[in-house]
Chains A and B, each alone.
Chain A
Amino acid sequence: MMKSILGTALACAIFSVECLSARAATVEITIHNLAFGSGTANAAVGDRIVWSNKDVMDHTATLDGAFDIRIPAGGTGMLLVTKAGQIRYYCRYHPNMVGTIEVDAR
């Protein structure tokens, strides 16, 4: 009995993870000339945010107490969004660089 409940729970968990990952998208934000893309980026819970840095200098995507992602010159940085709401982040190296991501619930 216990075994079957556990088995069902496991199947459900795998199913929901698969479901979520199948629906999850990648949201790309290009950094160029010290700007995080153009305007607000839109995403949904479970999506991956990928920053692509076209500048010659390194940047970060930082939200104090939540994340601090280094994005090297010519490289990328990634964040998995796990909850709905507005994210207002900045670059720790260039604090006048700010960006916004609107995250919708699924």
Chain B
Amino acid sequence: MADTVVKTPKLDELEKGKWPSFVKEIKMAAKTSPMAQDLLGQLELSYEQKLGHWKHGGIVGVMGYGGGVIGRYSDMPDKFPNVSHFHTIRINQPSGWFYTSKALRTLCDIWEKHGSGLTNMHGSTGDIIFLGTSTPHLEPIFSELTKAGFDLGGSGSDVRTPSCCVGPARCEWACYDTLAMAYDLTMSFQDELHRPAFPYKFKFKMSGCPNDCVASIARSDMSIIGTWRDSIQIDKDAVAEYASRGMDIKADVVDNCPAKCMEWDGKELHIENSYCRRCMHCINVMPKALRPGKDRGATVLIGAKAPIIEGALLASVLYPFVKIEAPYQQIKDVVAKIWDVWCEEGKNRERIGEFIQRVGLGNFLDAIEVEPVAEMVAHPRENPYVFYEEYFEEDETAEEQK
């Protein structure tokens, strides 16, 4: 197709430089895909005009599913007919983003037949993204994907594809099995994932420790972050080894402890564990000497989101500590209650975090039958306008005083 190659002087600039170039990737795909060629043409125009040329998504999908495909259409179909349809397909990634070369090749073969040959590995939520196909290809892609053991991810007002950190598969700090939990929740909520029925999206993210490698505290409606209740495990010899190899344990470790609960006398490291905030700093710095405790579980937080609509939120504590073991019943039970309340009373496009802000955390806890605990707030209220729900009448007080 060398004769139809479009001129892209602006994009060509982005082939230079040391960082891997997405333009080279599109050009690789354009060798065989007319779609990728027209994408180059349209993108070059966007670079000239400083303006995107995609229309608002339309409703497209595969039979029986309401999510997983994002409709996308060019606003210049006459000029770029091969991207007049350019839909995205979200494919549920395996937990921890592990693959075999064989599985990757299978995905590539399907996508070579039915789409632009361009992907994101991976999208922001965690899915495998197939970027650019047309409506008639959707059912064939779906059928080939499911035959190969893959299924679509979430989109729209549904459970979005859960994602997790690498966890016990390769990390010594994992306080629970993030891969197993992500897989279990994904399988348990298949219906909620494929058939949008919520006020808005609902994301689960699982991190094995407070380092939170999948940014769950910033990005998920329910964030499950591994932690421990007992004492940090100390290997004294390894501490001494770090010291002898030149680590300044006072400056690097002790002085950076946010709880100021560590002491180092040049020989022995002491941690007052009842004050430790489980921040991970000391463990991160001395992985050979310090490890999370043995009584492990997770802190469950709720309500993180980006700004749209009412402003960004970080997740806040729902359960300070939960043991995380299959079948995760305590979590599933509370999730069911949360969804009930939110589906009943949530407004259209209101994330759970915004819903909680609107009705108040106290009222929300009542509705989902969870007892308030001090760990849920940064500090108790400063304002004295308290809503008491009951008060005494004269005669009741008299009754009581009898």
Q: Do A and B bind each other?
A: no
Q: Which residues of A contact B (CB under 8 A)?
A: none
